[in-house]
Structures are given as structure tokens and as C-alpha cells.
Structure 1
Amino acid sequence: MQAETEKKADPVRLWDAAGGGQGILVAVGLLGLTRVGQLVMIWWLGGATAEPRPVWDRLLVWDAGWFLRVAMDGYPHGYTFDDNQVLQGNELAFFPVYPMLIRAGALLGLEPGTAAVVVAWLASIGAAIGLHLLGTSLYGKRAGWALVAICCSAPASVVLSMAYSESIYLALVAGMLVAAHRKVWWAAGLLGLATALSRPTGAAAALALAVAAIMAIREDRKQIWQPLTAAAVALAGVPLYLGWVALRVGEPSAWFKIQTAGWGTSFDFGDSTLQFLNSTLRTGDGWIPMSVALILLAALAAAGVALAQKPWLPLAVYGVVAMILVYGQAGFYHSKPRLLLPVLLTLLPAVVAAARARPRVAVLSIAAWAIFGLWYGAYLITVWPFTL
């Protein structure tokens, strides 16, 4: 794997080696197939529930409401308490890039809910292009297409159609990694900053960019300031937002307290994840908990295989740190597959295998994966009663 990467380490323009316009169109077409297929599944599964709801409404549930409130009403000025003065979660937990884009869509005349979904769908197209460029840069054109198909049909990929921030985050992190691999530092820095202001795991992306910058400096000591500046800009993103929340509320740990109060999210070094795995695998209580436990174990195994194949170091760093953040935090267990979706490291073994396999074998394998993954995501937002 590393040898293949090193052969392609020289591109200097962001859009080089994209497989041409046709390659990008194929990537977007693959995304379109997964989105249409999943929307049909949502319609089909949703019609059989006790309380049928329009497909559109299902794309605007749970976290979507929080993003819409930030977009239209802004952030609160402090903590939120219930009638018993117990601290609650509020909109300050949600990073600003996606709400800002929703607000921009609304200012252009779109109804806020429509703006939220349109932004997510457009960002999904950007994610497909970014994934294709990344896979093509690292392993070749077929790998680029495989990365798009596998990622966009993963079990939690339903969020790419919903008013959630995963689509914009995935587009930004893939674009940042492409720019860093091709040494387009101004783009890497801006995309890295936007990534870090999209989700807390943007900190992992910023660290990856810092590693890419160090690698570039070691290769060419005449080019120091551009990679260093890009890394510094990206690394500033998460601290800037957490610091802004701290100043707005008047307490340094404000963001962390809000997260814990609202969603039980705190970093416990994986203790809650281990407890969930132990309890679920011993009792087998419910097929969704069991499937989530198996997904978490499979992702760990896939990451181990990927690391053994020595992928491009910044991608490895991003994946490892992002997985530590996902597995190391407490919170809703059934949200973890969604949080793992943009990690990418866990997908590399399947992507490389598909790129090397005979086309018919690759297509059939990915199609089988997609049928299950798209159905699973549709089930989670129709039949499964809890937040994703």
C-alpha cells in the first residue's frame, strides 16, 4: 500500500488525477444510486410503521432540530436549565459550519428545513467528489470509485441524506486530505479550519494535517511556511469554538458540561464502550444493540488490517485519533456507527480489495454490502424508535 502511495506523492494541483470529468460523474452517479435507493427503502419501511410519516419529515428529525434552531435563532448566551434548575443540553453543543450554511440557504429564500436538506445533499455530492479524489490519489481510479460506493452505502450512511452535519464534515475532511496529499497548502489549511469548525472530531483532522505538513517539510526544507501555516490554521479551529463557548457562558469547561448534560457525552477512556460491548455480547438483548456491538468490533478489526497495510501516514493518524474519540467517549451507543462513518480508515481494506478484485467480483461484493447498509440505515430512522 505504501509503495502505491509513494508513486503518487507528486501531484501539485488539487484536481489532478481525478479520473477526468467522467470519473467524477461516475462518483456522483454512485452517490445518487445510494441516495435514491435508500430513500425508496425509507418510504417502504416507513409505510409499515404504526405511525406512517412522509419521507421528508424523517430527514428532519433529532439533531436536525438543533441545527435549525442555531441557524435561525442563533446560539444561547449561557447554560439552559429545566424547571428544577437541572442543567440541560443546548445549541452551544453544535459546531457552527452547518448551521451557517443553513442560514445562508434561508437568506436565499429557501424554507429553513428545505435549506437544511439541500445543504446536506449538496455537501454529499462534495463528499462523493472528495472521496473519489482521495481514493484516486492514494490507490488509483477504481479505488476512488470503491471508496465512494462503500462509504456512501455504509450502515449509518443514511445521515448523508438527513439534516445532519456528517455530509458537510465528510466533504471537508476528504477535501482537506486530498489537498494535503497533493500539497495544495492554502486549500488544505482552509478546508482543515472548516472541518474543525464542523464537528469535534475535526481536531483529529487537524492533527493529520499537521503530520502531513511535517512530512512535507522533511521532504523539502525550502517549503516550510506554507505547510506550517496550513497546519496552524486547522489546529486553531476546535480550540477557537470551545474558547468562544467558554467566553459566551463564562466558564472554561462550558462546552463539555453542555455535552454531558444533554447527551451523556464525556470522555471516559472507553469504559462505557467496554461495558456496552460486555453487556450486549453476554446477554444479546435486542438485535440493534447486538448489530452495533458487531459493527464496533468489525471496525476495530478493519482498522487493524488497514494499519498493517501501512496507509498514508496522515490518513492513519486521522483515523486512529478519530476512533479514539468515538470509542473513548460515553454517550448513546447507537450513534457510534454514525460517528465512525467519516473515519475512512476502517474502509480502506475493503476499498483496496475491491480495487484489486475482478470487476464483477467487486461490483457484486459492494452491491451486497450496499443492500444491507442502506436497509439498515433506513430501518434506524423508520422502525427503530431512538435517536440516531
Structure 2
Amino acid sequence: MTITSPSETPVAPVAEETLWQKAGGGRGVGAAVGILAITRVVQLFMIWWLGGPSTQSDSTSVFDRLLVWDGGWFLRVAVNGYPHGYTYENGQLQGNELAFFPVYPMLIRAVAALGVAPSTAALIVSWLASIGAAVALHLLGTTLHDRRAGWALVAICCSAPVSVVLSMAYSESIFLALVAGMFVAAHRKAWWTAGVLGLFTALSRPTGAAAALALAVAALMALREERNKIKPIAAAVLALSGVPLFLGWVALRVGDPTAWFRIQSAGWGTSFDYGRSTASFLKETFSSADGWIQVSVGLILLAALAAAGVALTQKPWLPLAVYGVVAMILVYGQAGFYHSKPRLLLPVLLTLLPSVHAAARARPRVAILAISAWAVFGLWYGAYMITIWPYTL
């Protein structure tokens, strides 16, 4: 009989905790989806309340309000496809459907092919993408920090001012789901998944270029430790090809290398002017503006800059920081409708990180009260913008 001394007793290896386990498994992810559901239900009620007959001269339904503005453009792409050239009115170049990136309208068309009305399909895609975004945000927050940070990221993002677009026929929900999922995959070094998600992210919105650049940074960081260097490089190349592919396709379809940029400028006044129009807007807002919406947008723009600055001092994961900085340069550096800028800032996760850190470290009761106060304002603000405010988001 062999006697084993205590020092020689074999120790079973401890299995490394998976991301799913770290995120709380089904219950943890279910809680994230529940947080999203609460924000959506509360906001839909606010839209119904603010847009009711007692406060509004028209009888527009909640359903119709979720399909306005950019939703109409996406639906036309889904139903009719893209035009073959420029659109003119009285000899003047106009904006047309070629300005809108293809992932969201193609998903609408796919769902509509099942026999669903295109308008209903648009909202189904948006709402399902919002669920995907909640799951991806929770996993991202958990990956970078812990489970509480994941829940906080979902709650703060999905109740931010103008987060109403997550319920609308807009591309923000699909973009947010894809970009958060891409970061999770890249952080876990699942490179093929990251590359495919990065490609679809880049084909969802112009700011997908910032996400693709961030994935390239993640790939470069991984080259030092990855034995198979082809995978991260291929993922980066795949993501980086997305925006040039669509802009090039538009150029070939119209027969003009600058077609997409000309259409954007003609239809929405969008052009990159290195921030001159944003600076002029802020100067005018805080010196002579008399409308509270204009002032609120100015405050949101300044608060987002301050939050990004604080986030950078906390040394976030470099690819996420690169994405945030580049995306903010694109938002602040371009001319266009000032009241659309808070919507464009919604997927810029960098601006949310200081609040997420604070909520994750605070006592649960304090964090819940603070996020609830934020949510009441943010959800009401978004509901107001699509019921009372008469202009596009």
C-alpha cells in the first residue's frame, strides 16, 4: 500500500470561468434583456402619452411615429431597392436612398419576404436587434469589468437621450448590436467572428469605419501573442473593407467616385468641415439661442466630450478608446443637422464608461436610483423628440 504525503496529493485543475458564467448565465443575460424591455415599455408609454389627442392636433399612432424620417428611407430601399443614379428636382441635386448603408434595409427585405408587411418587418428587425444589443452590451461590460458593469452599460445606454431610436425603424439598434458583439469577439480572440461582425458593422453605418479601425488595432495588439497571425490580420482586413466596398459600389452605380459624398451633402448638408459648424453651433447656442432643445443639444455635446475625456484618463481597452475617439471626430467634425448629433453619439460607448464604472462600484441601491433618474429624463427626452419636436432626428 502506497502512502501519499499531503504535499504530493494531486490537485484537480480549476476550470477557467467562461464569459457566459461570468455574465451570470441565462439569468444574467435575461436580466439585461429585462432592463431593455423596461426602458422600451416605459418609453412607448411616454410616446403614447405625449402624442395623445390632448396634446397633439394630429392622430398619428405610436406605430407610425416609430417609422418616421430615416425609417421611410430604409423602407424604400427595402421595398424598391437602390436608385441607379442621382436624383434631381428642378435641376437641383437631391438626397436619395444611396446615402443609406445596406445591412438594415436588407434585413427588412428578408423579414418582409416571409409575408410580413415591410413597415412591421422594419420594427421587428429593430426590436430584435435591440435585444441583441442588450445581450452584447452586457457581455461587453462583463468582459471588460464585471457583471454589474454589464448591467449598468445596458441600462445607461438604452435609456440615454434619443435612445428612442432603438425602438424605431433606424439602424442604430443593429449597429449597436454588431459593434458591441465585435468588441466582445475581439477581446476573446474569436477572430473570424470578430471579422464577420466588423464587416457587417461597417456595412451598417458610416461610423462603421471607426469600428473597423478599432478592430485593426485589436488585431495588431494580438500579433505579439497569437501563434496564428493570419486570423487577426484577416479579421481586420475583412472589417476595413466594408465602408470602401459600399462607397465604391455607389460610385460604380452612379458613375462618379464622389457620388456618396455628393448625395449626403445635397440631401442632409453632411460634409466634413473639421468641426467648424459644430463650434459655430455651440457658440451661437450659448450666446444667443432661445430654444431649450438647441440648448439641450449643446449641453449633450459638451457633456459627451467631458465624459470621453474622463474615460480616457481611466485607460480603457485601447481598441474601444480608438473607436470612441474616431467616432466622435466623425460626429463633431461634420456639418449637418445639429439635433441629429445626440443620436449619432448613442453608439459611441466611450462616453458611457465613466458612468458605468461609477455605477458598478457604487452600492446597488445608489446605482439603481442614479440610473433610474437618468432613465426618466433620457426616455422622456426621446419621446418628446418624436412627438412634440417637429424636426428629424
What range describes the TM-score normalised by the shorter chain of this pair?
A: over 0.9
Q: By how many angstroms is 1:12 displaced? A: 10
Is 1:370 the counterpart of 2:382 in the alignment? no
Residue 68 (structure 1) aligned to one of 72, 75, 82 = 75
| Number of residue-to-residue matches in the alignment | 376
**Counterpart residue number, 1:296:** 301
**Counterpart residue number, 2:85:** 78
Whether the 8 Å contact between 1:19 and 1:136 is mirrored in structure 2 is no
Is 1:352 the counterpart of 2:353 in the alignment? no
1:246-265 matches, cutoff 5 A: 246-265=251-270
Q: Deviations over 1:359-382 (max 9, x none)?
A: 000000000000000000000000
Whether the 8 Å contact between 2:19 and 2:143 is mirrored in structure 1 is no
For residue 135 of structure 1, give the secondary structure of its aligned residue in structure 2: helix
Q: By how many angstroms is 1:15 displaced? A: 4.6
Whether the 8 Å contact between 1:13 and 1:184 is mirrored in structure 2 is no
Q: By how many angstroms is 1:52 displaced? A: 3.2
1:227-376 matches, cutoff 5 A: 227-376=232-381
**Residues 12 and 99 of structure 1: CA distance in aligned 2, closer, same or farther (over 3 Å):** farther
1:1-388 matches, cutoff 5 A: 15=20, 17-47=22-52, 48-82=55-89, 84-220=90-226, 222-388=227-393
* TM-score (normalised: structure 2): 0.94
Which amino acid letter does the alignment assign opposite residue 180 of structure 2?
A: A
Alpha-carbon distance in structure 2 between the residues aligned to 1:61 and 1:16: 40
For residue 316 of structure 2, give the secondary structure of its aligned residue in structure 1: coil
Q: By how many angstroms is 1:13 displaced? A: 7.1
Determine which structure has more spread, i.e. the larger CA radius of gyration: 2
Whether the 8 Å contact between 1:192 and 1:209 is mirrored in structure 2 is yes
For residue 206 of structure 2, give the secondary structure of its aligned residue in structure 1: coil
Q: Can you give the 5+ residue segments of structure 2 that lack an aligned partner in the other structure?
A: 1-15
Which amino acid letter does the alignment assign opposite residue 204 of structure 1?
A: A
For residue 257 of structure 2, give the secondary structure of its aligned residue in structure 1: coil
Q: By how many angstroms is 1:265 displaced? A: 0.3
Alpha-carbon distance in structure 2 between the residues aligned to 1:335 and 1:370: 20
For residue 360 of structure 2, give the secondary structure of its aligned residue in structure 1: helix
**Counterpart residue number, 1:5:** none
Moved over 4 A (4+): 11-16
Alpha-carbon distance in structure 2 between the residues aligned to 1:217 and 1:98: 33
Alpha-carbon distance in structure 2 between the residues aligned to 1:20 and 1:12: 11
Whether the 8 Å contact between 1:42 and 1:382 is mirrored in structure 2 is yes
Q: By how many angstroms is 1:63 displaced? A: 0.4
For residue 81 of structure 1, give the secondary structure of its aligned residue in structure 2: strand
For residue 87 of structure 1, give the secondary structure of its aligned residue in structure 2: strand
Alpha-carbon distance in structure 1 between the residues aligned to 2:289 and 2:270: 24
Q: By how many angstroms is 1:18 displaced? A: 2.8
**Residues 310 and 49 of structure 1: CA distance in aligned 2, closer, same or farther (over 3 Å):** same
Q: Can you give the 5+ residue segments of structure 1 that lack an aligned partner in the other structure?
A: 1-10
Q: Deviations over 1:80-127 (max 9, x none)?
A: 000x21000000000000000000011011000000001000000000
Q: By how many angstroms is 1:218 displaced? A: 1.8
For residue 271 of structure 2, give the secondary structure of its aligned residue in structure 1: coil
Q: By how many angstroms is 1:187 displaced? A: 0.5
Q: By how many angstroms is 1:49 displaced? A: 1.5
Q: By how many angstroms is 1:223 displaced? A: 2.6
State the superposition RMSD in angstroms.
Answer: 1.1
Alpha-carbon distance in structure 2 between the residues aligned to 1:281 and 1:129: 39
Alpha-carbon distance in structure 2 between the residues aligned to 1:223 and 1:12: 24
* TM-score (normalised: structure 1): 0.96
Alpha-carbon distance in structure 2 between the residues aligned to 1:14 and 1:21: 12
Q: By how many angstroms is 1:16 displaced? A: 5.9
For residue 169 of structure 2, give the secondary structure of its aligned residue in structure 1: coil
